Chains A and B, each alone.
Chain A
């Protein structure tokens, strides 16, 4: 099913077919009041860059409010933000004390949204550099009362730095430029990425804010929004540039949190999502596939291990074994790695042919993700058995290094 899904998505993105209405490109001028929330903990290297960028935004400043949540930072993040707040009346800073701060992004966002006045809440991580007209591009979709969340596109800024950052860039190209785009065109489950996304404030009020127990508050919000009857749209034209992780250690920590959080969401949303009366058949099918996504590398890994065990344990006729391996090899190339074709399609759409040369590196990432997902599942099971709270927020460190 994942194989078919990835190929359908690639073909949908490559075709120029009309999807759902794109209110922004159609020129509809919808200008709701917007609150930008920026949760920041020890982000002195990057926070000034983002705030400076926001001051250049073309969205009417009388409809814009910026709230930076200084999440008990021990560096000068709070002071930098305070300086901007002195100069620009639309920028506010919420300082969280050490006894309530540092408990994760959801907790900080819940604190920030209490001070928000906008009809729409827009989220940015501190290391991001958005386009100057990104608010218009995202806000336009909220003309539709069915739309609860709008997700923008994330591109990697520090791409040429290391192998890991190039790998993340490839994943972003496939994930946003093809996967999210196709899901939006086909009216399936578009995911909220937790950053570069606009959320209707009435939706947040309806849900009671972000669930602080969840490690991936974005996936949780995605499913809660769909269960409440809202739709999530993807705005491919609204681009934002991020500083991707550059070391394997950071990659592991970040993806481990994502895998664990996604698995939490699987157990939380499997039943309510299946039973929700607000969803169509294909939305339901796609949602279940999204929920089960992080179990796929584990299943593939297990099948490889079992295959090897059977191969070496039982007597083998080498001649027939070779013939058997050909279809298996073909399936492993085109089946398990169908998502690589999405990356290829995304590279083609972005007109970055040279980048396709490094697609084989994704094999390495796939192998690493097998280990990450297996470890995440193991940790979750152990924490369930021992009833220990094992969900700690692993913060990604940003250096502010930009390649241009």
Chain B
């Protein structure tokens, strides 16, 4: 069956006209008599969204931060020597590609961003912030003077000191005698072992567990982690 071209053109033009009327009628109505008067009302007070939180715990540890200072090394030189791929973000931040482990007693003056999982050996000192795209495992007596951010889980062994906040997209485990000077924010669960202190608050979408008698022992050193 063949269609008469004139009929086809008439049909198409009618369809186009119908489409135009359908689209343009609301436009003309809304332009002539606008009902939508613009964006939502400007809020006069701040909007606050808060996750579940608990207050601070009364405990404080006493860590001598100078323990590690005599053994500092230049991180970028060390990484270059080891053949690790590393770039600099601006002036004050190092980005390390792939998973990475800091040996014990390292001292780092820059911010550190690791594009993978991160392990920090015992007694390391970070003078600024640390961020990892994977899980973070922090050894005993580590000091991070800035913030600690992870897109995975965070595990802190005993006597760790965090000068800022801890933010995790996974769960956070806080060992004994840990001190966090600001908040702990986690999307997953937060587990605290005895005598740890979080100065501000703990915010989580998961559960908050305070463990006095842990069923699972944390390893005594980072060396025990594979």
Which A residues are within 8 Å of any B CB, using their own CB?
21, 23, 25-30, 58, 129, 131-133, 136, 143-146, 148, 155-160, 163, 166, 169, 200, 202-203, 205-206, 228-230, 237, 239, 241, 277-278, 318-319, 322, 350, 352, 354-355, 357-361, 403-404
Given A21-B169, A229-B87: A241 touches B39 (CB 8 Å cut-off): yes
Chain A CB count within 10 A is highest, among B24, B46, B111, for B46
Kindly list 10 other residue pairs between chains A and B, CB separation below 8 angstroms, not including A145-B113, A229-B93.
A23-B167, A27-B203, A28-B167, A145-B111, A146-B89, A146-B93, A158-B38, A230-B90, A357-B29, A359-B27
Query: In whole Å, how far is A128's beta carbon from the nearest beta carbon of chain B?
Result: 11
Query: 1/0 contact trace for B59-93 toward A, CB 8 Å?
Result: 00000000000000000000000000001111111
Query: Is B217 close to A, CB under 8 A?
Result: no
A361 touches B27 (CB 8 A): yes
B49 near A: Cβ within 8 Å? yes
**Inter-subunit contact A133/B183 (CB<8 Å):** no
CB distance from B93 to the nearest CB of A (A): 5
Which of chain A's residues have a CB closer than 8 A to the CB of B37?
159-160, 403-404
Q: Which applies to chain B's interface (DSSP): helix, strand, loop or mixed?
A: loop
Is B212 in contact with chain A by the CB < 8 A criterion? no
Q: Are A277 and B87 in contact (CB under 8 A)?
A: yes
Contacts of A237 in B (CB 8 A): 47
**Which of A21, A131, A157, A319 has a CB less than 8 Å from the CB of B5?**
A319
Given A156-B39, A160-B38, A206-B90, CB of A27 within 8 Å of CB of B129: no
Chain B hits for A241, CB < 8 A: 39, 42
Q: Is B151 interfacial (CB 8 A cutoff)?
A: yes
Question: Which chain B residues border A160 with CB–CB below 8 Å?
Answer: 34, 36-38
A-B contact pairs, 11 of them (CB 8 A): A27-B53, A28-B185, A133-B47, A145-B93, A146-B113, A155-B40, A160-B37, A169-B38, A229-B88, A318-B9, A319-B5
Counting CB contacts under 8 A, is B124 at the interface?
no
Closest partner residue, chain B, to A148 (CB atom)? B90
Q: A29-B200, A143-B147 are in contact. Are A163 and B36 (CB under 8 A)?
A: no
Q: Are A404 and B31 in contact (CB under 8 A)?
A: no
Say yes or no: is B54 at the interface (Cβ < 8 Å to chain A).
no
**Contact in complex: B149, A157 (CB < 8 Å):** no
Which B140-156 residues have a C-beta within 8 angstroms of A? 146-147, 149, 151
Could you tell me if B90 and A352 are in contact, using CB atoms closer than 8 angstroms?
Answer: no
Is residue B35 contacting chain A, with contact meaning CB distance below 8 A?
Answer: yes
Q: Which residues of B contact A21 (CB under 8 A)?
A: 149, 151, 167, 169
- Residues in A neighbouring B127, C-beta threshold 8 A: none
Q: Report which B residues bind A (CB closer than 8 A).
A: 5, 8-9, 12, 23-24, 26-27, 29-31, 34-51, 53, 87-93, 95, 111-113, 128-129, 131, 146-147, 149, 151, 164-165, 167, 169, 182-183, 185, 187, 200, 203
Contact A143 B87 (CB under 8 A): no
- How far is A204 from B48 in the complex, measured between Cα atoms in Å? 31
Smallest CB gap from A356: residue in B: B26
Q: Inside 8 A of A230's CB, which chain B residues have their CB? A: 89-90
| Residue of A145, A206, A357 with most partner-chain B CB within 10 A | A145
Contact yes or no, B38 A229, CB < 8 A = no
> In the bound complex, do residue B38 and residue A157 qualify as a contact, i.e. CB atoms below 8 Å apart?
yes
Contact B149 A155 (CB under 8 A): no
Are A30's CB and B147's CB within 8 A? yes
Picked from B36, B41, B149, B165, the residue with its CB within 8 Å of the CB of A355 is B36
Determine whether the beta carbon of A26 is less than 8 Å from that of B89: no
Which of A131, A163, A206, A354 sits near B42, CB closer than 8 Å? A131
State A200–B165 Cα separation when bound (angstroms): 19
**CA gap between A163 and B12 in the complex, in Å:** 31
Contacting residues, chain B, for A350 (C-beta < 8 A) = 39-40
Instruction: Using CB atoms, name the residue of chain A closest to B88.
Output: A229
Contact A357–B92 (Cβ < 8 Å): no
> Are A403 and B38 interface neighbours, CB within 8 A?
yes
A143 and B149 contact, Cβ closer than 8 Å, known pairs A29-B183, A132-B44, A230-B90: yes
Query: Given A133-B47, A159-B37, A404-B41, A229–B90 Cβ distance below 8 Å?
Result: yes
- From B41, which residue of chain A is reached at the shortest CB distance? A404
Q: Smallest distance from the beta carbon of B210 to chain A beta carbons, Å?
A: 20
Nearest Cβ on chain B to A180's Cβ, whole angstroms: 16
CB distance from A140 to the nearest CB of B (A): 10
A205:B91 contact, CB within 8 angstroms: yes
Could you tell me the distance between the alpha carbons of A278 and B111 in the complex, rounded to whole angstroms?
16
Measured between beta carbons, the chain B residues less than 8 angstroms from A202 are 90-92
B50 near A27 (CB under 8 angstroms)?
A: yes
Determine which of B39, B90, B187 lies in contact with A157 in the assembled complex, contact meaning CB atoms within 8 Å: B39
Which one of A23, A148, A155, A354 lies within 8 Å of B39 (CB-CB)?
A155
Closest to B200 in A: A29
Contact of B38 with A404 in the complex, beta carbons under 8 Å = yes
Closest 6 CB pairs of A and B: A133-B46, A229-B89, A145-B111, A159-B38, A357-B26, A357-B30
Which chain A residues border B45 with CB–CB below 8 Å? 132
